[in-house]
Amino acid sequence: MAEKNNLQFKTEIQELLHLMIHSVYSNKDIFVRELVANAADAVDKARFASIQNPAITREWEIRIEADEANNVLTISDNGIGMNEEELITNIGTIAKSGTKAFVESLKNKDEKSADTPELIGQFGVGFYSAFMAADKVEILTKKAGESQAWKWVSDGKEAFSIEEAEKEDQGSRIILHLKEDAKEYLDYWKISSIIKKYSDYIAYPVKMTHTIKKDDKDVVEDSTLNSMKAIWLRSESEVTEEEYKAFYGHISGNFDEPLKRISYSAEGISEFKALLFLPSRAPFDFNMAERRTNKLHLYVKRVFITDNCPGLLPDYLRFAAGVVDSSDLPLNISREMLQDDPQIHRISSNLTKRILSELAKLMKDDREKYETFYKEFGRQLKEGLHTDFSNRDKIKDLLLFETMNNADGKLVSLKEYRDSMPALQQELYYLTGDSRNTLEKSPHLEIMRKQGYDVLFMTDPIDEFVLPSVGEIDGKKLKCVNKGDVKFDESIQKELEEKTKKAGEEKKELVDFIKTSLGSKVKEVRFSSRLTESACCLVSDEYDPSAYMQRVLRAMDKNAPDVQRILELNADHPLVTALQALYTKDAKNPKLAEFAEMLFDQALLAEGSPISDPMLFTRRVASLMTLGAEKETGAE
């Protein structure tokens, strides 16, 4: 009988095995994935070696066998196999890199925490995961092209043994003597579901026999558990639209038609393939807090790794769904490693550029289809302006807005607005608010209409947050028409400035009185260059939040502080002229202070902001209406 060679595990492996065996994990399923992935890798190596040595070519397969009587699960392959030296050094690649990090994470993890069941799946510990379900593991293996087989045995504690053995064909058999609480892994349907989830696209058949009833008789049937059809690896000409649609539904959970399909293949420094789908409408759970960042599934050499890998795409592209299959990442990569892995960053960069490029192409070639997409996901693209500096110019070109001079519902890009500007227009004008209906009535637009300028309407609460990231469009800056001073062509600007300066000098005492009456409600009172019809309006200083932004901030935090704004008056309006006449006649008339407050409330209502005392305002309006009606009827 051949001599048995008893060897000790390295200290760190002993520690790893001890922690795994004595920790409680609800997700033991991962060990099946790991062992099947190892088997597929062994077959890959044999298939490659068979190019030089055709004698080792086989009908490649992986087989799973359940022995319920002896509580034994076996996973076997006819791949490359191992000799004695490889058994000692190569079982579980985690022994060469990553073991220490994994052990430390196990130590530091709270076993009772919600994250614990996911730990093994995050790290993927290869062969050693077998001891989660088995209290004894045997390996019977024979190297392809060699005559001697070897047997490896361990209970996962401190030692293992290796001895010569008999095995008819090449490959490896992993024999797991299952623990009492792991008998479920002898069930055909349990194994089948695990293979379907993690190993469905492995290139080799994963087979298992099971007993079914046929004509009241027990019949043993040999089934292939995996489809072996990695749709992203097949030529597009080989896949039907129905197959793509079904796969999209499976990956995303959506049942509508995808808006666009993107196939991507990268070679060189980073090798991966991707099949991505852009949805036509937002899923019902898209804005729910518990939703994962994206619907991308990460595979490594067809083996499913995770469906929760935020690093694959920036968060603002979280609407994308699909699969990324890398040839370079290790099977045992952890979530922590994924976050920092340069390969993941390269994949993310490539996919981001491709998605933005496809959206730009869609916008150019099928504007109607793009606008349908934009109405669903435009807000997410705007987020990218603030978070993705390297692609800011590409994102900027994808944004669409309504404008004052275009029909309701018509969208234009920033570049299209820029190209349609009159030659004398100095800046790209915009106005933020709740709706187009509200903005169209804004007094801030009066001078714009008079000059024949258009104004971008921005009605998404996120707009004002991200607009500073836009920068310039072909040398022209964005300018909010209700903030700071609006600049026009030099000749127009000079005329407006002279007009407001003259009014300020002639009616200085009235302006000072209104400012004193309103007190802390306003920062300043001055005459306006932007009003042609309305009596007054409120504007913000250049770097203060607009009225709309203040309302948004207050909706998020009721204690958000108010920012004082500037009350601007129209020097040519009859109301201002009448107020000046009343002030000249009797500067101490109590009605003047009342009218000043009404001017302020009127300006608030015109921009869509609430007033502090609606009942008082309505009483004052009713009083003025009464006076007007009496005057019209000649009543005293």
Domains of the chain: 5-218 (3.30.565.10), 231-363 (3.30.230.80), 499-540+562-633 (1.20.120.790)
- Whether 190 contacts 28, CB under 8 Å: no
How far apart, in whole angstroms, are the C-alpha atoms of residue 117 and residue 179?
A: 18
What pLDDT, on a 0 to 100 scale, did the predictor assign at position 125?
A: 59
Indicate the burial class of 71 (C-beta count within 10 angstroms; 0-12, 13-18, 19 or more). middle
What pLDDT, on a 0 to 100 scale, did the predictor assign at position 97?
A: 41
Q: Average pLDDT per run of 10 along the chain, which is 636 residues long?
A: 72 70 67 89 90 93 96 96 86 47 58 43 64 93 95 87 94 96 95 92 92 82 90 89 86 84 87 92 70 78 82 91 87 61 89 96 96 93 92 95 94 94 88 90 90 92 84 88 79 79 89 94 91 91 81 75 88 92 92 93 88 92 89 74
Looking from the CA of 297 toward its CB, the CA atoms found within 13 Å total 21
What pLDDT, on a 0 to 100 scale, did the predictor assign at position 401?
A: 96
- Whether 456 contacts 482, CB under 8 Å: no
What pLDDT, on a 0 to 100 scale, did the predictor assign at position 116?
A: 41
What pLDDT, on a 0 to 100 scale, did the predictor assign at position 15?
A: 72
pLDDT (tens digit per residue) in 217-253: 888 899 999 988 889 988 899 888 988 988 888 788 7
Looking from the CA of 622 toward its CB, the CA atoms found within 13 Å total 6
DSSP for 77-129 reads: E-S----HHHHHHHSSGGGTTTHHHHHHHHHHS-TTSTTGGGHHHHH--GGGG
Which of these, 131, 110, 124, lies nearest to 15 by C-alpha position? 131
Phi, psi of 165 (to 5 degrees): -150, 175
What pLDDT, on a 0 to 100 scale, did the predictor assign at position 519?
A: 93
What pLDDT, on a 0 to 100 scale, did the predictor assign at position 123?
A: 44
Which of these, 142, 97, 75, 18, lies nearest to 9 by C-alpha position? 18
pTM assigned to the model: 0.72
Helix (H, G, I), strand (E, B) or coil at 41: helix
